[in-house]
Each structure stands twice: as C-alpha cells, then as structure tokens.
Amino acid sequence: MPKGSCLCGKVTYTLEIDPTTTQQTSACHCRPCRKITGGTTSLNLTVPATAFVLNSGALKTVKTQHIDEGFDFTLSFCEDCGSPIYAEAQFLPDKRIIQVGTLDDEEYLQRAPTAELNVKHRLHWIKPIDDAGQREKYV
C-alpha cells in the first residue's frame, strides 16, 4: 500500500488502496492549487476518505472558499512544517485529494495524469499533457 509523509517526517500516512490497480492522477491549474503547492500546477490523486490512514503526526485543517469557482474546500497539512497533505471539496463527498508529491514512492509521480483540470487557468507556456482529458472546471 502506498505510504506518504510530510517534509519534516512527523506526518506519515498510508493509502489503503491496491497499488496494482490503475489509480488516476490529475493535474490542476487553478489558482488555489498554485498557492497550495507553490508551483504552476498541483498533481493530485483522489481516493476514498476511508483509504487515508494517518500513522503519525498531527494535521492542521483550514476551511476556505475556492477563489475561482466559489465552492468550499478544506486543506489539511502538517502542523509543524506546513506540507500540504490532502484537500477535501464539497462536490466530492467522502473523497480525499492527495498531494501526489507527498507519496514516498515515486511511482505515482511517474504516471502521466489522465486529466488536466481548470485548463482555462493553464499558463500559456505549459503545453497540454498528451492523452489527458482537458476540463475547464473540476467536474
């Protein structure tokens, strides 16, 4: 089962999913994802909330509103180092949107995203990902 952690290592978690099945990742170009990651996109893996098991450390959660789409979402991050671990969005009940960069095994980073989200916010110098679905919004 995939394991992950924050930058300082205090938060560790396991995803109770079958790693041999194809788990789809998505790249999001929205402005909040840029602020969450400090980069141009966020690479995400959406899993059932029950699949996320916190093994150690403590998460701080903040609730906010998406500045482009207006929906509520929460972000959970390490209370010590601030690494974002996952988000939850009101339109995806019972799901957690994992920050793929926090997974310890780079297997999921090696998988090309199957979808690009919020492509209307994609920076002009970033090219679409081959064979990835292109969505103007989240859903």
Where residue 4 falls among pLDDT bands split at 50, 70, 90?
very high
Question: Residue 39: helix, strand or coil by DSSP?
Answer: coil
d(Cα 44, Cα 46) in Å, to the nearest integer? 6
Q: What is the dihedral of CA 38, 42, 45, 47, to 10 degrees?
A: 70
Reported as a single tens digit per residue, the pLDDT across 84-106 is: 999 999 888 899 999 999 999 88
Q: Which domains does the chain have, with CATH numbers?
A: 3-134 (2.170.150.70)
Where residue 139 falls among pLDDT bands split at 50, 70, 90?
low
Q: Supply the pTM of this predicted model.
A: 0.90
Amino acid 50 reads T
d(Cα 133, Cα 105) in Å, to the nearest integer? 25
